[in-house]
Every structure is written in C-alpha cells, then in structure tokens.
Amino acid sequence: MSEDESWPAGTRAEMDTPSRTVLVVVAHADDAEIAAGGTIARLSDAGVRVVTAVLSLAETGVGAERRIGDTTRAADLLGYELCWPRKDLPLQVADYGEVALVATIDRLMADIAPHTVLTHWRGDGHVDHALTGRAVAAALRNHRADLFSIRPAEPRTIATSQFTPTVFVDISDYVKRKAEALEPFTRRRPGFRPVDGIAVQITDRFHGQLSGTEHAEAFLLERQHGLGAALPDG
C-alpha cells in the first residue's frame, strides 16, 4: 500500500506482512465487494491473507446456488477466502439472535486468529449491518485484533451522511477489478434490489477526492493496539 492513502503507519506495515490475516465479517453477499472490494484485492496482492465471512444466505434452491456462485466468483477475482458460517440454514442476520450471533463470530475469531477485522459500522441504517457490527465489537472482548468499520452500502440513507471515515485506502488501480467482482450483483433478480454500480463508483471517487487520490475506499478506525511504529508490539 502507498504511504499516502492506507492504514495508520504501524498497522500498514504489519498488514503487508504475509503472516498477517484480515477477517472481513459482513451480513450479506456483496457487502464486502461494495465497501471494501478494492482494499481486499490490494491486501491480497500484497500477500496478506484475507478471509471474508458472509453471515446470511436467505435463499434456498436455485437462488442460493446462484448467490453462492456469484460470491465464489467475486472471491476468486479479489483474492479472498470465502466462509459461510451458516450456509446450512436460510437465515437473515436478525434471525440468529444476538447471543448466537456473537458466539458465531467468537468461533470465527478463534479459528482464523485475525490481526485486523473489517466489519459493518454499528451506526449503519440496515438492521442486519448494525447487528453484525455490534456482534463483532462484542466478540472482540476475547480477541486481540484491530477493528475498522466499513461504510454503509446504501447511499440514500441518513446513516451514509453520518459516517465519518478516518482511514482511506487508494484503490485507483483496482477499480476495474472491483467492478468486475460486483457485476453479477448489479443484475435484476426477483425479490432483490440490484447493487447500483454507478453509485459505488461515485462514492469511491468522492472518497478519493477527500483523500487526494482518484478512487478510495473509506473506513472508520474503531480499535487499534499499540501506537503504530512507535510501539510496534503494542
């Protein structure tokens, strides 16, 4: 990652080390691609292991197979390992119950042992996103990992205007790859509103303007161990 648009100093150096693992925890297939697809690809290209856990698959039959196929294709394009903690049940995140949701994420943390976690902002206007963000924050009581929140996926909500990012990642070289990964999710299908690919690009361009690059993805630093390069061991 570049010196100008990346993670805080100490975190950046550590995340570029191949032994580091980043865990991305999202409510739905396409959430990771919308808010962090370019960052995931950039991390993967730098040799960082990225695992993305999708908590819900609220479909069955052909719909579920298509959703899994589209997400598997996105994982291949962006270079992350795909994990479905409850692919066996057609659940929305709200169907878990908060105690079971935290327990699920606890198991993920123990199995994957991430250095850094990306997840939904707890102020997100989508209930599944907010529940996921709260559950990840609760699960971190038992795990030593840095935490970053991803931006709300829906630009037409009050939450989007209230999200105040503190970290920007330059994804200018990854815009086409991100768009390719998102393309299947932009198609119309019964019961689902397609992702607005143009809105995603406009948002990335806006965050690029804020941070002095062409395109950027924005994050909110929630928790970091140590003081970066000053105390690299935290």
Neighbour-count burial for 158-168, b at 16+ CB within 10 Å, e otherwise: ebbeebebebb
Maximum Cα interatomic distance, the chain, rounded to a whole number of Å: 53
| CB neighbourhood size of 132 (10 A) | 28
Q: Decide if 2 is inside a domain.
A: no
Model confidence pTM above 0.85: yes
Phi, psi of 122 (to 5 degrees): -65, -15
Q: Which residues contact 156 (CB under 8 A, 6 or more apart)?
A: none
Whichever domain contains 177, its CATH number is 3.40.50.10320
**How many structural domains are present in the chain?**
1
What distance in Å separates the CA atoms of residue 212 and residue 67, rounded to the nearest whole number? Answer: 36
Domain assignment of residue 223, yes or no: yes
* CA–CA dist 17, 100 (Å, integer): 33
Residue 1 belongs to some domain of the structure:
no
Q: How far is CA 91 from CA 6, 46, 95, 175, 224, in A?
A: 35, 34, 6, 31, 32
User: Given this model, what pLDDT does residue 230 score?
Assistant: 65
Q: What is the pLDDT of residue 64?
A: 81
Distance, CA of 204 to CA of 217 (rounded, Å): 6
For tokens 């019961």, name the residue: 191
User: What is the domain extent for residue 58?
Assistant: 9-230
- Other Cβ atoms closer than 10 A to 190: 5
Residue 28 tokens, joined: 């739905």
Per 3-state DSSP, what percentage of the chain is helix, strand, and coil (rounded to 5)?
50, 15, 35
Residue 224 falls within a domain, yes or no? yes
Q: What pLDDT, on a 0 to 100 scale, did the predictor assign at position 228?
A: 63
Extract the tokens encoding 39: 């960052």
Q: Is residue 134 part of a domain?
A: yes
Q: Give the chain's length.
A: 234
Output the tens digit of pLDDT for each of the chain's 234 residues.
333 333 333 344 344 444 589 999 999 999 999 999 999 999 999 999 999 999 998 777 787 888 899 999 999 999 999 999 987 777 889 888 999 999 999 999 999 999 999 999 999 999 999 999 999 999 999 899 999 999 998 877 888 889 999 999 999 999 999 999 999 999 887 767 889 999 999 999 999 999 999 999 999 999 998 776 566 554
Checking DSSP bridges between strand 49-54 and strand 81-83, what pairing results, if any? parallel
Asked if residue 4 belongs to a domain, the reply is no
In a domain, 161, yes or no: yes
Three-state DSSP class for residue 168: strand
Predicted local confidence at residue 229, as pLDDT: 57
Q: Are 29 and 70 in contact (CB under 8 A)?
A: yes
Contact between residue 69 and residue 84 where contact means Cβ atoms under 8 Å apart: no
User: In this structure, are residues 168 and 209 in contact, taking their beta carbons and an 8 Å threshold?
Assistant: no
188 located within any domain: yes
